[in-house]
Amino acid sequence: MTARPLLIGDVFRRNAAVVPDRLAASLGDRSLSHAELDATGNRLAWALRDLGIGHGDRVVSWADTNLDVLPVFVALAKLGAVFAPLNARLGPDEAADVASLARASLLVVDPARAADAARVANAAGIPRVAFYPGVPADATAPVLDPARHERDDDYREPALTEDDTHVIFFTSGSTGRPKGVVLSHRANYLRSFQGVFRDVPEKTVCMFPLFHMAAFTLGLSAWQTRGSISFVESATALEILAAAERHRANRIYCIPLVWNRILAEDTGRFDLSSLRELDTGTSAVPVELIQALKQRFPGTVTRIYYGSTEVGSATSLADVDVLRKPGSVGPASPGVDVELNDDGEIRCRSAYMMDGYFDDDAASAEALQDGWYASGDLGAFDDEGYLSIIGRKKELIRSGGESIAPSEVEAALADAPGVAELAIVGIPDLDWGEIVCAVVVPVPGAETVDLASLQAYASERLAGFKKPRRLMVADSLPRTAATGQVQRALLVEQILTGGLREA
């Protein structure tokens, strides 16, 4: 007897059968029940089939956060076609460059991007265009509006297997060259499955836009518990908190920057008594943020996750450890193997990794080595097997077209007056790409180091473009417990979230 394959479409079929009237998704005043999400997905599956879209075809979606995206996501999963969302913030030329990588059969755009649809499709070599609902009645291309299609019986693609591609998420990675991360039905099913013993539906508020991998992973994770996900139009503290109150959310996942926005608000204005899980993650999370969350929201748990589009969750730090292991991202997540190369690069393998980068054998071969995904991150394990992120394997700071090695700048400034310890990191900048930032621990009792004096000292030892443009002051530098290496990634996170004082 052949086991039933792990297909994403089955998540929606089963929820519609078991909890048809329960909330599945919301955005503002709009909502979809599980029955509505499944039925509208079926209608659009039949409509897309009539447009010639079928098993294996790729469909690029260029749209901002809107519930109309979800039935298309469901429809393509049932068709066995591939959903490939584009960042809605891209301009037409950028969108065309990225979309061309997918060699797609159809481009679907929202009303805000309808005027550029034909231009992008032509430049990307996509033969057909369709619109999400809301375009003018005289639209020159088909409109994927479930209300216009009556047939809603369940669509099943007999040729579909769990190893077929479900989605392609575009990522620039560390090189800046766009790549399409290929995830199968099986991979996305396993990433989002939370086990058979979870009897409380997950009700999540999602800060991520509906073209971001995390939005769909969080959505699938909630739907696998027969729960719901509430999207917001923008990741403001007030929108997130209002959605949590309105839908009695029990989980919120935010990156540290957004959690700091929330903590800056008067959260007592909202009834947040339903919250149980306040999760976060990037490569590093300041312990001060965790302490603030626990003080503001007693009775909740917080977990820290580290991973990527390519590998999903690689490590996870449980609530019991988040204060005991500051700066750590935890041991390997269940079902994941994590190790370090000889040079300290983090490698992962699991049953839910990507299949590779679409149509890019060279990039796939570089990233996937003997069944392991090479992350490009540098890490260190402590004596309990907990991982800390030190930085990137290629730690060059790229500023204004120039490449700068942090270690070179650190060596040149190590003996600067008033400096006890110093670390150099790159900070994102709109004009320069990155700028050089020095994080200094002053000599005890010495006058505070200032940027002008540090730059003057650097002038005798470094080219002008290598000199620090920002200076932050710290009481100490975060280091790994096992090796004492400076955690550059954590320093960057502290700077971006306001955790360090600028001199």
Q: Would you state the structure tokens that stand for residue 439, as one six-digit string?
A: 């994080």
Backbone angles phi, psi at 27, to 5 degrees: -155, 110
150's CB contacts (< 8 A; 6+ apart) are: 43
Which is it for strands 304-308 and 58-62: parallel, antiparallel or unpaired?
Answer: unpaired
17-43 average pLDDT score: 98
Q: Are 316 and 304 in contact (CB under 8 A)?
A: yes
Q: Would you state the structure tokens that stand for residue 80, as one six-digit string?
A: 């066995």
Q: What is the pLDDT of residue 401?
A: 66
**The length of the chain, given as a count of residues:** 503
Q: In what order do the strands lie in the sheet with 58-62?
A: 129-131, 106-109, 58-62, 82-86, 165-171, 179-184, 356-357
- Average pLDDT for the chain: 92
362's CB contacts (< 8 A; 6+ apart) are: none
240-252 average pLDDT score: 98
Q: Are 65 and 206 in contact (CB under 8 A)?
A: no
Taken in order 407, 411, 416, 418, the sign of the CA dihedral is positive
Amino acid identity at 350: S
277-288 average pLDDT score: 85
Domain borders along the chain are 8-275, 395-502
Q: What is the pLDDT of residue 196?
A: 84
Amino acid identity at 342: D
Whether residue 287 has pLDDT greater than 80: yes
Q: What is the pLDDT of residue 483?
A: 64
139's CB contacts (< 8 A; 6+ apart) are: 114, 131
DSSP E strands in 318-418: the ranges are 328-330, 336-340, 345-350, 356-357, 368-369, 372-381, 387-392, 397-399, 402-404
Q: Are 464 and 362 in contact (CB under 8 A)?
A: no
Pick from 378, 424, 374: which is nearest to 397 by CA? 424
Q: Look at domain 8-275 and name its CATH class.
A: alpha beta
This prediction's pTM: 0.85
Cα(431)–Cα(429) distance, rounded to whole angstroms? 6
What CATH topology corresponds to 395-502?
A: GMP Synthetase; Chain A, domain 3 (3.30.300)
Q: What is the pLDDT of residue 203?
A: 98
Write out pLDDT tens, residues 201-218: 999 999 999 999 999 999
Q: Residue 320: beta bridge partners? A: none
Fold agreement between 8-275 and 395-502: no
Cα(240)–Cα(275) distance, rounded to whole angstroms? 12
Q: How confident is the model at residue 392 (pLDDT cuts 50, 70, 90)?
A: confident
Taken in order 279, 281, 284, 289, the sign of the CA dihedral is negative
Which carries the bigger pLDDT value, residue 468 or residue 197?
468
DSSP letter at 384 equals T
Q: How confident is the model at residue 408 (pLDDT cuts 50, 70, 90)?
A: confident
DSSP E strands in 94-233: the ranges are 106-109, 129-131, 165-171, 179-184, 203-206, 228-231
Q: How confident is the model at residue 173 (pLDDT cuts 50, 70, 90)?
A: very low
